[in-house]
Amino acid sequence: MTPLQNRTLQIIERFKQEYPDAVCSLNYVDPLQLLLSTRLAAQCTDARVNLVTPALFEKYPDAQAFASAELSEVEEIIKSCGLYKTKAKDLIATGKMLTEDFGGVVPDNMEDLLKLPGIGRKTANLVLGDVFGKPSVVCDTHCIRLTNLMGLTVGKDPYKCEMQLRELLPPEESNDFCHRTVLHGRAVCKARNPQCGLCCVRDLCDYGCQGGA
């Protein structure tokens, strides 16, 4: 085990103690809802998405319903999420592809998930990890920023950061670790004002050890 892998394990354990409930902040009851909620969350807060999705999923309960939806009606429901025109098109196109190519079921592998309109590795990893229990690394802005500061990853490219973290994180811990970076980023390691004095991993963090904030 390398020194960096050992440090990563210590960070994982600290985060487990600090944030025992490592859960996704998006509300959903099935794979389709998580998939589409994550698409809506692009450049939008999870809290806002959670306000919009109850009405959306009541009107469109499955892939077939989205496939036959009127674009203007979907746009109206999701308007407050921002970029609503593009997102509405993606939701309907995803419903059509799921219906026509996957029997209306959200696929359980990266290759097929990435075929869906507007779905990238971040969303695919979230679905694979949270719904299907597969080892996943969700490299959102919080994860990239925090792991850069801690010295676990280098650079801002999501794919490169994902690959670097896969070398460090035990597969069974990776999904929860990414959820906990989101929680830590919101509570303590804030983008504009990292509160290093309150940080549970300050002594394990490159930024914190250099003086931090």
DSSP 188-209: TB-SSSB-GGG-TTGGG-HHHH
- Alpha-carbon distances of 125 from 13, 103, 144, 148, rounded to whole Å: 22, 21, 15, 20
> Active-site residue among 87, 90, 122, 130?
122
Q: Please indicate whether residue 21 is annotated as part of the active site.
A: no
Q: Please indicate whether residue 122 is annotated as part of the active site.
A: yes
CB distance 162 to 201 below 8 Å: no
> Active-site residue among 87, 90, 130, 140?
140
Other CB atoms closer than 10 Å to residue 109's CB: what's the count? 11
Catalytic residues: 122, 140
